[in-house]
Amino acid sequence: MKKVSIALFIVVVLCSFNFLTDPCSSIVFFKEGTMTTMTSYNDDGKVTGTTKATYSKVLKAASGSTVTANQENYDKKGKLSTKSEFSIKCVKGILYFDMKMMMPQQQAEAYKDFEMTVEGADKEIPSEFVVGSNLKDADIKFTFKTKDGAEMPMMKMNIKVTNRKIEAKESITCAAGTYECYKISEDVEVKSMFTIKAKSINWFSKEVGNVKMESYKENGKFVSKSELTEIK
């Protein structure tokens, strides 16, 4: 009986130690109640909209942590256009981003009255960043149904993120502050009724997540950017 009690005590201590040393606990979106605002700009530098994410609930387990967030997209006039929910997981310091975040806002608005099913591999951010290294691809499929359960095969969507690479470590200044970031380049392909191919560059901070994002056409022409403008 004493051996069992000692074993249980050791398990409890080890689990508590895991919680205390959670490698993702320092990232802002694993702090309940945090809200971030990303502001989007077109190629002329004019504001096209904002995205607000509120990180509402963090669940911790021995295997890692999961945060649930509510996202609201606003147009350039500040009018709410869509709402959604997504999650981010942290397992041994590796972040797994819910690929629902990748759906273009225009499509999200078009599909907001349909039931959506999502399957595939989430976008992964490593625990250690090595400049010059390649990251895992991400691939996700969206299918849609009407409210009465009728399938909409013409509305299927597939998003692939490939050729992901850590290009450099850079200091980025935005309205929300200055952060040490890792510059990550990637190719994005969105297939629905037609196919869109693009390139993107993300500046990711271990402290606050995405600080800046730039989008380019397949031929390299700059299209738009988003920057972190507020953290509460």
Task: Please give the pLDDT value at position 37.
Answer: 97
What integer is the mean pLDDT of 132-151? Answer: 86
147 within 8 A of 185, measured Cβ to Cβ = no
Amino acid at 1: M
Q: What tens digit of pLDDT does each residue of 35-68 get?
A: 999 999 999 999 999 999 999 999 988 888 999 9
- Domains of the chain, first to last: 24-231 (2.40.360.20)
Report residue 207 as tokens. 């402290």
Query: What is the distance between the alpha carbons of residues 98 and 152, in angstroms, rounded to a whole number?
Result: 23
Q: What tens digit of pLDDT does each residue of 6-27 get?
A: 333 333 333 333 334 466 778 8
Residue owning tokens 């994005």: 188
Task: Please give the pLDDT value at position 179.
Answer: 97
Q: What tens digit of pLDDT does each residue of 146-163 get?
A: 777 777 777 788 899 999
